[in-house]
Structure 1
Amino acid sequence: MTSQSMAAALARTMGLTYAELLRTASVKRVDVSSLAALAHAIRLIDSPDSPPPHPEDLPQQLAALNEHRHRTRLGAVLRQLPGVLADGTNHAHATQSPDAWGRVADTYSVVYWLAARHRWMHLAELAVMKQRLAAERARPIAATVAARDEAGAFLNSGDFAGGLAVVDQAVVEAESTLRGRDRAYGLGILHLRGLTLAGRIKDQRTARRHVDAAWRAAAEFPADIADHGIHFGPENTAVHVISTASDMEEYRDALETADDLLRAGTSLPATRIGPLHMSLSRSHLALGDRDAALASLEDAWDVAPEMARVHPTSQELVRVLTSLHRRSNPRLTRLAKRAGVTF
């Protein structure tokens, strides 16, 4: 199975972007108008319209949007994003409140997340640029979240070293600007991004540095929290450590850590548990256990079907498993059909 670091190298050799090699996910016909409306709302950051009549509803609207995100309801996120972004931007221009601009920045974080899931990289990069602009008018934590997402755009484009540079600079800034809970949370999400990036280039020393720092930050939280639409705490740190262990081909360590996490039970949402099962499927497959790999991939589809449909790891796992099976397997046939992969 091709690693993401190898895929990035292949893309450079072939003169392709990382997203082109992994293939951009298509938009359903019913969602084309929502994507056009989102593009219009993005332009409003410099050209505001009338403020919304009920600004008191804006926090609840953003919370509902993030709930769809956490449940990996990608279609619902796309349909609701244009209105939430437009109303939030217009209100922020009308009030110039740091909290209002913070909500705009958080909404652009959702735009980035949706674009990254579909590998719409031009939109993802535009989203983090606009997120940065909004964060400049918000409280300091907004800039930290924006840097985390900017590093994510580097990650999704296959520029892992560039993403690490963004993380390192953001860590220095966060250490000087953030205090209390915001400081622990902000540094935590940055170090999670850092360990993921380091794992993709198999930089064990840098990955270990970010792992240790993430665990120190996670120790400040007895349970995972979901600030600014992003989860952080002991459980999500464990999920990232598992994924990075798989990236660095430490497959048994990944499976053992996952056993401990799942046996204890987790409160994390589908947006984190789906990728966890994909990581476990990768590790099982690398160790030659196709049945366990299929079972973990089925778990990923059961927990987060809309994400699994567009996620490159899920798609590649289905293709590899179908190519390895020489005889009919009803479970794999059903999964391949859901993924749109010919078996």
Structure 2
Amino acid sequence: MAEVQNEARRIGEVIRKARVVQRRSQKDVAAALGYHQSKVSRLEGGRGTEDIRMLREIAQVLDIPPPHLGLAAASDARPADPETEDMHRRTFLAAGIAALATPTTSRAAHQDLVRSLLPGAVHAPSESAPDIQNLRDQVAGVRRLFCTCDYAQLEGTLPDLIGQLRQAISDAPGSSDLSGLLATAYQTSASLLLKQSDQGNAWLAVGRAMAEAERSGNPVVLASSVRVHAHALARDSHTTQAVTLVRHTADQLTGSYDQRSPKYLGALGLLLLRGVTAASSGGDRAATQDFLTEAHEVARYVALDSSDAWANFSPTNVSLHALSAAVAFGDAGVALETARPLMRRHIPVPERRAALWIEAARAYSQQGRLADGYQALRIAESCAAQDVRRPAVREMVADMAARDRRRTLPDLHRFSRQLGVPA
């Protein structure tokens, strides 16, 4: 592990020196890459260097010979072949990923979930197949596990549920209701895998969700599947495509809100909020505001913050996405102004409560208020401990601890070590 860390620091220093020699700022390099400045800062600090695609991009922007970053020479590379990188680089990548693995879920459970997404024969259950109402209750149960951030139990529950649903469809082919339930199970799997930063397998779940949603013919289910599809696109930095996908789908669903069911409005609202996330990640302020305005309009017809609001869409969730968008744009002051009234509001869903405090922590961090950021993270942990232990949040904690060079915040460093990501 020490060798991996030393290699990461060496790569970060190579990137920093190349940038300084060219007299370019981190912001300038980040803009050329299409990322936020913090991404370059993390790379120069030796964090995130296991991302080979990112290293190749920054090598091109800064004119760094690929071997200097532990990559195969460009002339030797074969993009379609995963063996293009040398053995040392692949070993480093594997070790880096292992170091970031979330400790709250077991490897065996994760493998079971991935296997349940693969094509193949359906294994008949040992007992009689449950009726459709029982399956509906189980699907609602996994959605609750996601909203309460009980990711370990969720990961252990999904494979069996997916197996039951596939068996039920095998016994009753053409059932639109069963296809809709299976699509929701796949959507939940994709969302969980994205929380775990497992983009590759998330795409597998997204494909499954889209296929079953189309078979169901249900616009609510289809909108929800498009939402996770757009999420996966945005996480892979394809923000323009994500925005286009959301815009195209939402245009077919908007209007006549007073005549729509709560589920319909919830699915449409969450789809628009995914557009907010994608557009703000891509730096598109106009599209972000358009999606927020539409989401506010839909939220007028949804029960205010009801704990059983379908799929967790509500006026408060719209405000939370406005907060996240402000953070994405680097408008920390605006973000904290947006967050303050939410901090005094009752938010019934633990995942959303945690999101509020995590985004507040990001805003505090942007302002250099590391102590306030740390306190916000501890509040988030009290709301949903497993959510704070996902890779994206752990990376933020490590970044905050690294910036406290004089170690004036021992509790922050202790927290970083507890999460397994010391600065």
Q: Is the 8 A contact 2:105 2:151 kept in 1?
A: no
Decide which of 71, 85, 102 is 2:180's aligned counterpart.
Answer: 102
**Which residue type is aligned with residue 31 of structure 1?**
S
Q: 1:189 to 1:207 in 2, by over 3 A?
A: same
Indicate whether 1:213 and 2:294 are aligned. Answer: yes
Assess if the C-alpha contact under 8 Å between 1:37 and 1:82 holds in 2. yes
Residues of 2 paired with 1:120 and 1:177: CA distance? Answer: 38
Question: Aligned residue for 1:171?
Answer: 250
The answer as to 2:124 corresponding to 1:50 is yes
Deviation readout 1:142-165 (Å, 9 max, x if unpaired): 111000000000111122112112
| Counterparts in 2 of 1:319 and 1:218: CA distance versus 1, 3 Å | same
Does 2:14 match 1:14? no
1:52-105 deviation line (CA, Å, top 9, x unaligned): 522242222222222221121211111111101110121123223222111101
Q: Cα–Cα, structure 1 residues 288 and 151, in superposed 2: closer, same or farther, change >3 Å?
A: same
Distance in 2 between residues matched to 1:218 and 1:230, nearest whole Å: 13
Structure-2 residue corresponding to 1:152:
231
1:114-157 CA distance string (max 9 Å, x none): 11011111111010100011111212211110000000001111
Q: Structure 1 residues 29 and 199 mapped into 2: Cα distance closer, same or farther (>3 Å)?
A: closer
- Residue-pair matches, total: 338
Query: What is the distance in 1 between the residues matched to 2:143 and 2:54?
Result: 38
Instruction: Give the aligned partner of residue 76 of structure 2.
Output: none
* Distance (Å, rounded) in 2 between the aligned partners of 1:39 and 1:13: 25
2:106 counterpart of 1:31: yes
Contact 2:320 2:356 in 1 (8 A): yes
Amino acid at match of 1:167: V
Does the CA contact (< 8 Å) of 2:220 and 2:268 recur in 1? no
The range that moved more, 321-330 or 68-77, is 321-330
195-204 vs 58-67, which moves further: 58-67
> Which is worse superposed, 23-32 or 302-311?
23-32
Structure 1 residue 210: Cα displacement? 0.5
State the one-letter code of the partner of 2:155.
L
Letter aligned with residue 65 of structure 1: V
Highest Rg: 1 or 2?
2
Of 139-148 and 34-43, the range deviating more from structure 2 = 34-43
Taking structure 2 as the reference length, the TM-score comes to 0.72
TM-score by length of 1: 0.87
Asked if residue 204 in structure 1 is aligned to residue 276 in structure 2, the reply is no
Q: Secondary structure at the match of 2:389?
A: helix
- Using the alignment, how far apart are the partners of 1:199 and 1:313 within structure 2? 19
Any gaps of 5 or more consecutive residues in structure 1? none
Structure 2 CA distance for partners of 1:16 and 1:62, relative to 1, 3 Å: farther
**Pairing 1:1-343 to 2, within 5 Å after superposition:** 5-6=35-36, 14-15=55-56, 25-26=100-101, 31-43=106-118, 47-50=121-124, 52-55=128-131, 56-95=133-172, 96-138=174-216, 139-175=218-254, 180-181=260-261, 182-224=263-305, 230-267=311-348, 269-327=349-407, 329-343=409-423
Structure with bigger RCO (C-alpha 8 Å, 6+ apart): 1
Return the alpha-carbon distance in structure 1 between the equivalents of residues 104 and 351 of structure 2. Answer: 24
1:174 aligned counterpart, secondary structure: coil
Shift of 1:8: 7.4
Q: What secondary structure does 2:210 align onto?
A: helix
Preserved contact between residue 85 and residue 107 of structure 1 (Cα < 8 Å)? yes
**Is 1:145–1:186's contact at 8 Å kept on the other side of the alignment?**
yes
Displacement over 4 Å in runs of 4+: 1-4, 7-13, 22-25, 27-30, 176-179, 225-229
Alpha-carbon deviation of 1:177? 12
Aligned partner of 1:104: which letter? L
Larger relative helix fraction:
1
- TM superposition shift of 1:50: 3.3
C-alpha contact 1:108 1:131 (8 A) present in aligned 2 = yes
Q: Deviations over 1:202-230 (max 9, x none)?
A: 21111110110010011111323688973
Percent identical: 20
Cα distance in 2 for partners of 1:101, 1:244 equals: 34
> Is 1:115–1:123's contact at 8 Å kept on the other side of the alignment?
yes
Note the residue ranges of structure 2 that are not aligned, 5 or more in a row: 1-25, 44-50, 59-92
Q: Which secondary structure state, in structure 1, belongs to the residue aligned with residue 312 of structure 2?
A: strand
